[in-house]
Amino acid sequence: MVDPEHSHEHPYPAADLAARYPFVTLETRRLPDDEMLDRARTFHQAMGARRSVRMFSSRPVPGELIEEAVLAASTAPSGAHKQPWTFVAVQDPELKSRIRREAEAEERSNYLENRMNNEWLEALAPLGTDHHKEFLEVAPWIVVLFEQRYELRPDGSRRKNYYVKESVGIAAGLFIAAIHDMGLATLTHTPTPMAFLRRLLGRPENERPFVMFPIGHPLPGLQVPDLRRKSLSEVFVEVDRRGDGSTVR
Ligand code: IYR
């Protein structure tokens, strides 16, 4: 563990920590810069091809693929490593219909009964979303991601979770990436309010729906809005010692 580049004043784990808790050596690899750049560009390109999809094929998707995506998502870092999430998968047509019915009822109030204000509706206009959620029945799977606001032990006692929204948000991102990487498509869908999902899916009181994902093969030839993503300079600044937001380059 001798680093020719830096000698650490505070090595981790400290000896007394390592004596009290288990530690293992992490497998690391050191790639040349040009290979890292290749990989970074390949990854960016792959993720750049992801789009939110609202038209799915009804072609079946093996449950094992959903399970693999959940395992990938569950590698997300989380507050105090609590992994405060539950992914609930539904393929039963009857249950998917019930979810659609209740989601559409909420969304009808949002879109048609002024629960969304005009500014919001204008922001959504280019996406053309409305209260129809047919994809909830067409897509072979719906996965609902629940956040565990606290941990409920089998004896009924509660333990705190930490940074729940941040942790679950990161897991959601990894889930989306995993689904895309295996060639499937999804949509982050948040029929608001989502409380009905806890009831329909019989989830315990400590869980709250965070986001739902219809998942399936994208319908061949489907159309998506012609969106542009922000350029690097719109989303990135490198701050030098002046701290005024000017870029070094
Ligand atoms: N939850 C609604 C509305 C909606 C809101 C935003 I912000 C979007 O980017 C898209 C939709 C719905 O799912 O239709």
Query: Residue 14: its pLDDT value, please?
Result: 96
Sequential DSSP letters for the chain: ---SS---SS-SS-HHHHHHS---PPP-----HHHHHHHHHHHHHHHHT------B------HHHHHHHHHHHTTS--GGG---EEEEEE--HHHHHHHHHHHHHHHHHHHHSSSS-HHHHHHHGGGT--S--THHHHSSEEEEEEEESEEE-TTS-EEE--SHHHHHHHHHHHHHHHHHHTT-EE--B--SS-THHHHHTT--TTEEEEEEEEEEPBPTT-------PPPHHHH-----TT-SS----
**In angstroms, what is the span from residue 143 Cα to ligand 1's centroid?**
17
Average pLDDT value for the chain:
95
Q: Of all protein residues, whose CA lies closest to atom 12 belonging to ligand 1?
A: 191
Residue 114, pLDDT score: 84
Residue whose Cα lies nearest atom 2 of ligand 1: it is 191
Over the stretch 218-227, which tens digit does the pLDDT of each residue have? Answer: 999 999 999 9
User: What is the mean pLDDT for each group of 10 consecutive residues in the chain (249 residues)?
Assistant: 82 96 97 98 98 98 99 98 98 98 95 91 93 98 98 95 98 99 98 95 97 98 97 96 64
From the CA of 191, give the closest atom in ligand 1. 1
Give residue ranges with CB within 6 A of ligand 1. Answer: 107, 124, 127, 129, 189-192
Domains (range + CATH), the chain: 20-220 (3.40.109.10)
Q: What is the pTM of this model?
A: 0.94
Residue 10 CA, ligand 1 centroid: distance in Å: 48
What was the pLDDT predicted at 249? 52
pLDDT of residue 1: 58
How many A from CA of 94 to the centre of ligand 1?
24
pLDDT at residue 229 in the model: 98
Segment 206-217, tens digit of pLDDT: 999 999 999 999
Residue 189 CA to ligand 1 center (angstroms) comes to 7
Give the per-residue pLDDT at 241.
82
